[in-house]
Amino acid sequence: MSNLLIELFVEELPPKALKKLGEAFANSLFDSLKAQGLTADNSALNNFATPRRLAAHITDVASKAADKQVAQKLMPATVGLDANGKATPALVKKLQSLGADESAVAKLRKENDGKADVLFLDATQAGVTLQAGLQAALEAALAALPIPKVMTYQLETNCQNPGWDTVDFVRPAHGLVALHGSDIVPVSVLGLQAGNTTQGHRFEAKNPAITLKNADSYAEQLATEGAVIASFSDRRAEIVRQLNAAAAKESLKPIEDEALLDEVTALVERPNVLTGQFEKEFLDVPQECLILTMKANQKYFPLLDANGKLTNKFLIVSNINPADPSAVIGGNERVVRPRLADAKFFFDQDRKKKLESRLDGLDKVVYHNKLGSQGERNARVVKIATEIARQLGDDNLVSKVEFAAKLSKADLLTDMVGEFPELQGIMGRYYAQHEGWDDDVAFAIEDHYRPRFAGDALPRSQVGVVVALADKLETLVGLFSIGEKPTGDKDPFALRRQALGIIRLILENKLELSINSVFESALQIITGSSRAGLVELVKNKQAPVKESVAFVGYGDLLDFVKDRLSVAMKEEGYSPQEVDSVVSAKYGDIAGINDFIISIEPDRLVEVTTKLVAVRNFANLPEAPALAAANKRVTNILKKVEDEVKANVNANLLQEAAEKALNDALGKVKPQADKLFESGDYTGSLQALAALKAPVDDFFDHVMVNAGDPVLKANRLGLLATLHQTMNRVADLSKLAG
C-alpha cells in the first residue's frame, strides 16, 4: 500500500467551472478505485485544482486489488447434468467460456434458488492491478467531467508514427503525472503518457520543470519550487486572509461575494493582493453601478466604509508578486478608469430623459411572441396592481401603485441597464428619485422584482409589495394561459420562484387578500375572459384554441400554486399530514373535464399558519386519533352516496340511543365550535370537538347507517353530514388519520 497522486496538467481552465471540475475529477477517481478494491477502508482523498491543473492525492492505495472468491451461477442442474450426473454439452460450453474445462464438474456446487437446483462454480477472481484499475478510473473520470464546453485540438504523435491525433477536452492537456509512492504508474489519457514531471507558476517558478519525488511531496514541491498553492481551498483561504489584511490597513472592509471569491481563486496560482484607487468624482455614480463594473469586468473587490458605503479604493488579486508592485497597481487603475467613466456617462445621459418618456419604447420590445410586447405586459401589470390596491387600501395607495407599476419597466430602455441588465429596477429607483418622486414610488420600482430568490428581502413598502405581486401574477397567469409551464426539472421562466414569491408576499405581509380572487382578476385582465366565461365557451364548444388552452392552464396553475404552498409550509416544519389537512384544492367537474381545480383552500393565505398551529394543537389531544379516524370513516361513507347529502336531521326520526346522544352532543358542540371559528380562534374551535369523541364512538358501535328504511337511512346520513361539517371547518381532520 502506498499513496497515489494523479495530476492532469492543462492550459488555463474556465474559472467559473474550475471548482466543480476539480471536485468531480478527484471524486470520480476515488470512487472508481474504491469500487475496484484498490483502496483501503481508511483511504482519504485530497483534491487540488489550479488554473492549469486538476489533481488528486489518495492515501493507502494497493498496487493490486486482493483476489476474491466469486460464485458463478451456471444453469439449472437438470439442464447441465444428464441422468448419470455427467456434464451435458451445454454445461461444457459454459465452463469453457469461463476458462474451465470438464474436470471442473466435480467441483460444482448445487444450490436451490427456491424453484430448482442450480449449478454454481466457485472460483477465485484475480484482483485488478493498479495500472489497469487507474487506467479505467482515469478514462471514466474524464468522461464524467462537467465540462461547460469541449475544445477540439490536434496532438502530435510519436516519431515512429508521425502525424496528428484529434483530441476533445475542455482545454489542451500537456502533461500527466501518476505516482504510486515514488513509482510511475504507466497509464495514458488524451494522448499523454504518465510521468513524474510537472510545471510550476508561469513566471515565478524556480525551475521550468519540477520532478516530483513521490506522491506525498506534490503540494510542498509546487509551493517551494513552483510558487503554486495547489489546493483550491488553501488558495481561497489565503486570498481571504490577504483581502482582510489589506482592507484593515485602510480601515475599510472588502465587499463580500462568494462567487467572485471562487472565480478569482480559479484565476491565480499564487495570489498577491494589492490596493488600487480611482478618482473620487466617480463616487457620484450610484455605487451599485461602480461595484458591478469592478466585480464583473475587472474581478476587483471594492472597499466599503463602516456604513457600507463605497469608497474610491479597491483590491486587486494579482497572480504575480513583483518587488515593486507600482506598475501592476498603476496598470489596473488605468484599466478600471474607462469602465467607471462609461458608467458615469451612462448615468449622466440617462438622467436627461424622464422615465415616463421611455414608456412608448416598451411597445417595440418583445416580451413573448404569444403575449405581446413589454409595453402590453406593463399595461397588464398596471391593471392587476391597481385591482389589488383597491382591495387593500384607499385612493392614495391606488394612485401610488398605479404610477409605480407604470414606471416599473421603464429603466429597461436606459443605457445603464442596457450595459448592466443586473441593475434593472435599481436604476429605475435612482432615476425616479432624481425626478423627485417619493420613496414609496421609487423603491417600489426597485423592489417589484423581490423576492428574487429564496431568502431574499421583501419590498420595503406596501406600494412595492402590491406591484411585486402584480408582476409575478402577470408572469404566472400569462405563461400558464399559453401552455408554458414547468415540466420535471425544467423551469425556464422560473415559475416556481414566482409562485413562492407570491406566497411569501401575502403570508409575510399578512395581506387580507383572496388568493382565488387575485388569480381570477389576473386571468380576466390577461385573457379578456373570466374563468366562468371560459367555462361557458368550453361547455358550448365555442372556445378557440387560445381560450381552451387558457382554461386548462388556469386549472394547472392553481394546482401548481397549491403544491408550492404545501412545499413552503412543510419547509416551515409542519408535517405532511398537517399540511394536507389545511392546504387543499376544490375540484369540480366542469365543461366535461373531471377533477378540474376551481379554487385553492384556504382562500385567504393569511389563515394557513393559524390553521396549521390549530391542527397541531388538536393532534396533541388524547381524543384526536379517534376523532380523525371517525372523520375519515364519515368521509368515506358520504363519498359513496350518489346523491348530495344535506346536513339536516329530523330529531323525530332518531331511534337508537346512540344516534340521539350524538345529535344532542352536536347541538351543544356545533354552536360553540362555530362561534370560535367565526372569531378566528381555530385552536379553540378544534379543541371543542374533543367532547364528541365518546358519542361518535358509541354511534359507530351501535348504529347501522345503511338502514333498510330509506327515510331512516337518509336521516342518519344527514346526521353524519352535520358531524362532518362541524369537524372540518378548520381543516380536513381525516388527513390526520393513520
What DSSP string describes 297-339?
HH--EEEE-TTS-EEEEEEEEES---S-THHHHHHHHHHHHHH
Last residue of a domain, one of 202, 224, 246: 224
For 302-317, what is the mean pLDDT?
97
Other beta carbons within 10 angstroms of residue 327's beta carbon come to 9
Instruction: Report the range of poorest mean pLDDT among 68-72, 91-95, 614-618, 647-651.
Output: 68-72
Shared-domain flag, residues 561 and 451 = yes
The Cα 150–Cα 240 span in angstroms is: 32
Strand partners, 68: 125
For 270-279, what is the mean pLDDT?
97
- Whether 616 maps to a domain, the answer reads no
Question: In the 8-state DSSP scheme, what is residue 39?
Answer: B
Q: What is the pLDDT of residue 678?
A: 93
pLDDT band with cut points at 50, 70 and 90 for residue 595: low
The Cα 359–Cα 685 span in angstroms is: 53
Shared-domain flag, residues 245 and 217 = no
Shared-domain flag, residues 141 and 6 = yes
Strand partners, 54: 8, 49
The Cα 304–Cα 254 span in angstroms is: 6
pTM value? 0.82
Last residue of a domain, one of 81, 99, 125: 125
- Alpha-helical regions (H) of 540-605: 545-571, 576-582
- Whether 699 maps to a domain, the answer reads yes
Q: Judge whether residue 313 has pLDDT over 90.
A: yes
Q: What is the pLDDT of residue 593?
A: 57
- Whether 148 maps to a domain, the answer reads yes
Single-letter amino acid, residue 431: Y
Look-up of cell digits 387578500: 513
Q: Judge whether residue 174 has pLDDT over 60.
A: yes
For 305-319, what is the mean pLDDT?
96
Which of 91, 92, 119, 125 has its CA nearest to residue 107?
119
Joined together, the cell numbers standing for residue 704 give 347501522
- Whether 611 maps to a domain, the answer reads no
Q: What is the pLDDT of residue 545?
A: 57
The Cα 231–Cα 235 span in angstroms is: 6
Q: Judge whether residue 358 has pLDDT over 60.
A: yes
Which of 563, 551, 555 has its CA nearest to residue 491?
563
CATH number of the structural domain spanning residue 628: 1.10.730.10
- Sign of the dihedral defined by the CA atoms of residues 86, 89, 95, 101, in that order: positive
Stretch (H or E) spanning 638:
helix 624-639
Shared-domain flag, residues 121 and 135 = no
Listed in sequence order, the residues at least 6 apart from 515 whose beta carbon sits closer than 8 Å to its beta carbon are: 506, 561, 600, 603, 604, 605
pLDDT band with cut points at 50, 70 and 90 for residue 414: very high
Q: What is the pLDDT of residue 542?
A: 58
Which of 424, 395, 399, 397 has its CA nearest to residue 410?
424
Look-up of cell digits 497572480: 319
Shared-domain flag, residues 141 and 99 = no
The Cα 600–Cα 121 span in angstroms is: 63
The Cα 182–Cα 131 span in angstroms is: 15
Helices (H) and strands (E) in the chain, counts: 26, 22
Which of 59, 58, 96 has its CA nearest to residue 74?
96
Look-up of cell digits 436604476: 427
Listed in sequence order, the residues at least 6 apart from 640 whose beta carbon sits closer than 8 Å to its beta carbon are: none
Residues above pLDDT 90, as percent of the chain: 72
The Cα 122–Cα 410 span in angstroms is: 77
Q: What is the pLDDT of residue 594?
A: 56
Shared-domain flag, residues 629 and 596 = no
Q: For residue 14, is the peptide bond before it cis, meaning its omega torsion is within 30 degrees of 0? A: no
- Between 605 and 594, residue with greater pLDDT: 605
Single-letter amino acid, residue 168: D
- Whether 615 maps to a domain, the answer reads no
Task: Please state, in angstroms and as integers, the Cα–Cα distance from residue 546 to each residue in 325, 416, 568, following that order.
Answer: 66, 38, 32
Shared-domain flag, residues 56 and 73 = no
120-146 core/surface letters (b: 16 or more CB in 10 A; e: else): bbebeeebbbbbebbbbbbeebbeebe
When divided into structural domains, the chain yields a total of: 5
The Cα 695–Cα 701 span in angstroms is: 10
Q: What is the pLDDT of residue 67?
A: 81
* Burial label, 453 (beta-carbon count in 10 A; 0-12, 13-18, 19+): exposed
Shared-domain flag, residues 21 and 57 = yes
Tens of pLDDT, residues 511-541: 999 999 999 999 999 988 777 776 666 666 5
Q: What is the pLDDT of residue 738?
A: 67
The Cα 569–Cα 580 span in angstroms is: 10
- Whether 486 maps to a domain, the answer reads yes
Shared-domain flag, residues 421 and 445 = yes
- Whether 194 maps to a domain, the answer reads yes
Q: Judge whether residue 622 has pLDDT over 70.
A: yes
Shared-domain flag, residues 488 and 559 = yes
Tens of pLDDT, residues 87-143: 888 888 888 887 787 778 878 888 887 788 888 888 777 789 999 999 999 999 999
Domain extent for 100: 68-125
Last residue of a domain, one of 83, 109, 125: 125
For 382-393, what is the mean pLDDT?
94
Strands (E) in 92-172, as ranges, are 109-112, 117-125, 151-156, 164-169
Shared-domain flag, residues 465 and 571 = yes
Q: What is the pLDDT of residue 198?
A: 97
Shared-domain flag, residues 329 and 282 = yes
For 440-444, what is the mean pLDDT?
97
For every residue of 77-93, DSSP letters joined together read HHHHB-TTSPBPHHHHH
Q: At what angle do helices 287-298 and 326-350 cross, to 10 degrees?
A: 130
- Whether 33 maps to a domain, the answer reads yes
For 269-285, what is the mean pLDDT?
96
For 416-442, what is the mean pLDDT?
96
Joined together, the cell numbers standing for residue 662 give 350524538
For 709-714, what is the mean pLDDT?
90
Displacement of CA 215 from its chain's centroid (Å): 39
- Per-chain mean pLDDT for the chain: 91
Q: What is the pLDDT of residue 548?
A: 62
- Alpha-helical regions (H) of 70-160: 77-80, 89-97, 130-144
Q: What is the pLDDT of residue 103?
A: 77
Angle at 451 between CA 306 and CA 599, to 5 degrees: 160
